[in-house]
Structure formats: C-alpha cells, structure tokens
Amino acid sequence: MNDLTLVYSDEFKKHVMDRAHPESPERLEHTIKAARELMGECEKTIEIIKPEIIEKEDLLSVHVPDHIEKIKSISMAGGGMITLDTTMNEHTYDIAKLAAGATKLAAKLVDENHSKTSFAVVRPPGHHAEANSAGGFCFFNNIAIAAEWLISKKGYRRVVILDIDHHFGNGTSHIFYHRSDVLYVSIHAHPMYSYPGTGYPTEIGIVEGMGYNVNIPLLPGTESIDWLHSLNFASNIIEQFQPQIILVSVGFDALIGDPVGILNLSNNAFFGTGYIINQLANKFCNGKICCTLEGGYKIEQLEEVSKKFFKGMLGYKPKIIEKLQETRISNHTNSMFSQVKRALRDYWKF
Ligand SMILES: [Zn+2]
C-alpha cells in the first residue's frame, strides 16, 4: 500500500479561462513538482497516477441534467462566460469531467487500500459548483461526487468533508445540507469580507442535516496559530462524528499574500494542517485521507506550501504544532468559536 498517491494529468492544463486569470494551468505544475521532489527526499512510498474520466451516472448523482447539458453545450460551442469570473473554453467540459474522475479515483484508491492517502491534483476546482450552477472557477463539484460515490456505491455511512480552502465551499455545503451522512466542516475567511458571501456559523443544515454543516469563519488577517486552533476546534466535532474516511478540499489561498485571499497563513501552517488531519485520520479511520485541490494562487509559493502539506499528511510533525500548545488563541478568533458553539450546542459537545 502506498503512503500517498497523487492523481494527475497534464490534460488539466487544457482548460484555460483567460491569460490573466489567477486560476491558471501553471498552478498544478508547482504542486506536482513538490510531490516529485518529496519522492526523492523521504522514505515514504509516493506514486503519481493518471485519472479516469467520470461516468455520467456519477455527475448525475450530484448535478441536475440541465446543468451538465449547459456546461457541455457552451464548451462544445467553443466556450463562453458563465459568471463574470468563471469562463470556459472548448476543453472545459471534458477537463471538468476529468477533474471529477480524478477525485473519484483518489477516493477509490484509499477505499480499496491501494494507498493510505491520496491527493487529486486537479483543475478546474469544484467546491463552489452547486447542483444546478457553476461559479467561483468551478463547474462540477469534484469532492461531492466522490463523497456521494463512497456512500451510494461503497456503503459508507459517515463521510466527513473538511474544507480548508480560504473560501466557503457553498456548493458542497448545499449539496449535503439536508443530510446527516456527510458532515461538512469548513474553515474560511468571513463571508462579510470574502466570496461567496455565505458560510456564517448559523448555517447549520436543515431537516436531518441540522448540525451537520459546520462553518468556522475567520476575520481578515487571521494568522497561522489561530488557523491551527480552528482546525483543532473543528477536529473536536469531527471526532464526535467518527468518520469512516476524511475527504479534504485543499486550497492554498489562505496563504499570506495570495492574490485573492485575506488571511495570513505561513507555509508552516499548512505543514501543521496536514499533520493535524493525519493524526485525526489515524485515530478514527485507519489513516484514510483523500484530498482534492481547490484554490491557491500565489504561484511562487505553491511548490513549498504543497510539499509542506504533503509532509504533514504523511505524518511528519512540524515545530509549529508544539508552539501551538503554548500560544493562546486571539480574542477575535475566540469570539468566532463562541458563535459556532452557540449555533451548534444542541448537536455537539464543546
Ligand atoms: Zn478558494
């Protein structure tokens, strides 16, 4: 069994929005380069494999037929604009399907014990894609499709989706908003200051899903220690849920200086993030972690931050974890925790 398997293809570069767009094909090269370097630097078994195209049935498990047809027809016609910041070219439909297929394959590799952990290094990203609409650079919801496949085809009953992208994953949240078999937990920049403008702590789910949508918003300028404390806060809820697998929407756009971000995380915050997720997975689900790539646009840092995240998820312990125990959380982040506790106190122990 591999320690980490990455699912990647150069085909992902064919989808291009426009030359100046931050969600550029170049992003993936740095993350894959980091994985290749790590193969030569550590004793863990790391493999890179090619994705499979997604089945229509899998797309339909999450998206309405009209949405799939719309993406297909615009793409087939040569491309066009979906929203002001989300555009397509002639390859977008096929490549978005490949990104969904890669994420499903990443889940399958972990489910079938081919690999302890996996990471789909894909674009376009997926977590802003709703059942019936595209937006925020996303067309099909890669991680939601993978989660739904694990539940409907592989019999999983408790899947956690941890979303550590800088932005609230509105699509993923809403797709599972009424359900208790998927716990969606998102740490993100406060919706008052950031896209998509939703993701408040009071958005906790509906009907059977009440309590299974956990939003932890952070104020602009939040730094690494508060971020990691937030992840520990989230871990407490995830532990009570006792997941059978941890799916992670990984975005590196909370990194300080990201062109679309307002949070101030260091590369080491992502090292610590990977490590905390590794510890959580070891405790509850035999180390099973399946990640897919969402955002992250600070090109010159992507190689280093990706490598640090991989190292953390492989179980290497960074110094920042020890520092975390000695450093108090700030008052503003603590006040966010109070809001989350108030919204969810009937559902989880704090
Ligand atoms: Zn993002």
pLDDT digits (tens, 9 = 90+) for 296-347: 999 999 999 999 999 999 999 999 999 998 999 999 999 999 999 999 999 9
Could you tell me if residue 207 is inside a domain?
Answer: yes
124 alpha carbon – ligand 1 mean position (Å): 12
The tally of domains found in the chain comes to 1
Tens of pLDDT, residues 163-221: 999 999 999 999 999 999 999 999 999 999 999 999 999 999 999 999 999 999 999 99
346 alpha carbon – ligand 1 mean position (Å): 30
Q: How far apart are CA 44 and CA 4, in angstroms?
A: 8
Q: Catalytic residues, which ones? A: 128
pLDDT at 20: 87
CATH number at residue 313: 3.40.800.20
Query: Any residues with CB less than 8 A from the CB of 238 and at least 6 apart, and which?
Result: 160, 162, 183, 185, 246, 280, 284
Backbone angles phi, psi at 49, to 5 degrees: -125, 165
Output the average pLDDT for the chain: 97
Q: Which two tokens stand for residue 115?
A: 């690999």
229 alpha carbon – ligand 1 mean position (Å): 20
Could you tell me if residue 350 is inside a domain?
Answer: no
Could you tell me if residue 171 is inside a domain?
Answer: yes
Query: At residue 18, does pLDDT exceed 90?
Result: no
* Domain boundaries, position 269: 2-344
250 alpha carbon – ligand 1 mean position (Å): 9
Could you tell me if residue 6 is inside a domain?
Answer: yes
322 alpha carbon – ligand 1 mean position (Å): 28
Could you tell me if residue 261 is inside a domain?
Answer: yes
Could you tell me if residue 349 is inside a domain?
Answer: no
Residue 63: band (very low, low, confident or very high) from pLDDT cuts 50, 70, 90 = very high
pLDDT at 179: 98
Tens of pLDDT, residues 277-294: 999 999 989 999 999 999
Q: Can you give the pTM of this predicted structure? A: 0.98
